Amino acid sequence: METPLTIVVVDDEPLAREVLEAFLKKITGIQSVYLFPNARAALNHLEKQAADLLLLDIEMPEMTGIEFLKQLPDPPLTIFTTAYRNYAFDGYELGVIDFLLKPIGFDRFALAISKAREFLALKEQQSHMEDGPGDDYNEFVFVKSGVQRIKLHFAEVTHIQGLKDYAIIYTSDKKILLKGSVKAMLDIFPTDRFIRVHKSFIVNLQKVTQLERNHILLKGHQIPVGRNFKEELERALRAK
């Protein structure tokens, strides 16, 4: 059974709020929805009442969505909803789970909600790396998830994403959520095979299929490449 979600919507455009509210009514498992026309009103609400998910516009008068998010000491999981594509990189920097470009279609919106639900579910059963690597430490590590002990082969991992205070480890068929930063993951994963390409992403060089101007393609995922990491990435790909 899905955990009921409490959602806060912040958008200065009345029509945008109506569309998101109508979309949320179509999705099961939504407990409460709070709609706000500006960041100030939402800030006052969140100081008194927690939310599971924040649907946040960026370009708003008085206080932008980015300024608002930076003011929250412990922001809810957030999805940006904006008409401006160039804010996608800001979203990654701020630990945003998804980025919806207006006009938003329902199918894409439902996918973003599903992605947020999946993260919250993983958070409930968060895993941790076991201490003390064995003789084959350069090939795998053991991950403890509840009572399960999972053998995680480095070769299976496609990439790692930092999100808030967690790291999501992606393989071709599963995701594992660990408490800890992307930087901490660099101490665990072999540096001859894994490289940091963005403040929030590490990739397995063997899984990279294409490098474009500011992102790479990797097993169906589009991963942003930060300006400060691009030169080292290009060198590593040439040496691969």
Tell me the CATH number at 160.
2.40.50.1020
The whole domain housing 208 covers: 155-239
C-beta of residue 21 within 8 angstroms of C-beta of residue 67? no
> Domain check: are 202 and 115 in the same one?
no
The CATH number of whichever domain residue 95 belongs to comes to: 3.40.50.2300
Above pLDDT 70, what percent of the chain?
92
In a domain, 197, yes or no: yes
> Domain check: are 174 and 231 in the same one?
yes
pTM of this structure? 0.82
Tokens 């599971």 sit at which residue?
A: 52
How many domains is the chain built from? Answer: 2
Q: Taking Cα atoms as reference points, which of 73, 55, 44, 40 lies closest to residue 5? A: 55
* 171: β partners: 157
In a domain, 175, yes or no: yes
- The reported pLDDT for the residue numbered 135 is 44
Q: What are the C-alpha distances in Å from 125 to residues 2, 98, 119, 129? A: 14, 21, 10, 13
Can you give the pLDDT of all 240 residues of the chain as single tens digits? 567 999 999 999 999 999 999 999 999 999 999 999 999 999 999 999 999 999 999 999 999 999 999 999 999 999 999 998 887 767 787 889 999 999 999 999 999 999 999 999 888 876 666 654 444 457 888 887 666 778 889 999 999 999 988 999 999 888 988 888 888 898 889 989 999 999 999 999 999 988 888 899 887 788 999 989 999 999 998 887
> Domain check: are 195 and 119 in the same one?
no
- The reported pLDDT for the residue numbered 128 is 66
**Assigned token pair, 42:** 């939402």
- The reported pLDDT for the residue numbered 203 is 96
- The reported pLDDT for the residue numbered 20 is 98
C-beta of residue 129 within 8 angstroms of C-beta of residue 143? yes
> Domain check: are 92 and 179 in the same one?
no
Q: What is the pLDDT of residues 81-121, one digit of tens each?
A: 999 888 776 778 788 999 999 999 999 999 999 999 999 98
- The reported pLDDT for the residue numbered 141 is 85
- Return the axis-axis angle of helices 14-25 and 106-124, rounded to nearest 10°: 60
* 33: β partners: 7
> Domain check: are 21 and 105 in the same one?
yes
C-beta of residue 159 within 8 angstroms of C-beta of residue 204? yes
Which of 124, 146, 174 represents a domain boundary (last residue)? 124
> Domain check: are 164 and 233 in the same one?
yes
In a domain, 195, yes or no: yes
- CA 24 remoteness from chain centre: 20
**Assigned token pair, 24:** 């949320």
In a domain, 146, yes or no: no
> Domain check: are 88 and 175 in the same one?
no
In a domain, 136, yes or no: no
SS (H, E, C) the chain: CCCCEEEEEECCCHHHHHHHHHHHHCCCCEEEEEEECCHHHHHHHHHHCCCCEEEECCCCCCCCHHHHHHHCCCCCEEEEEECCHHHHHHHHHCCCCEEEECCCCHHHHHHHHHHHHHHHHHHHCCEEECCCCCCCCCCEEEEEECCEEEEEEHHHEEEEEEECCEEEEEECCCEEEEECCHHHHCCCCCCCCEEEEECCEEEEHHHCCEECCCEEEECCEEEECCCCCHHHHHHHHHHC
In a domain, 44, yes or no: yes
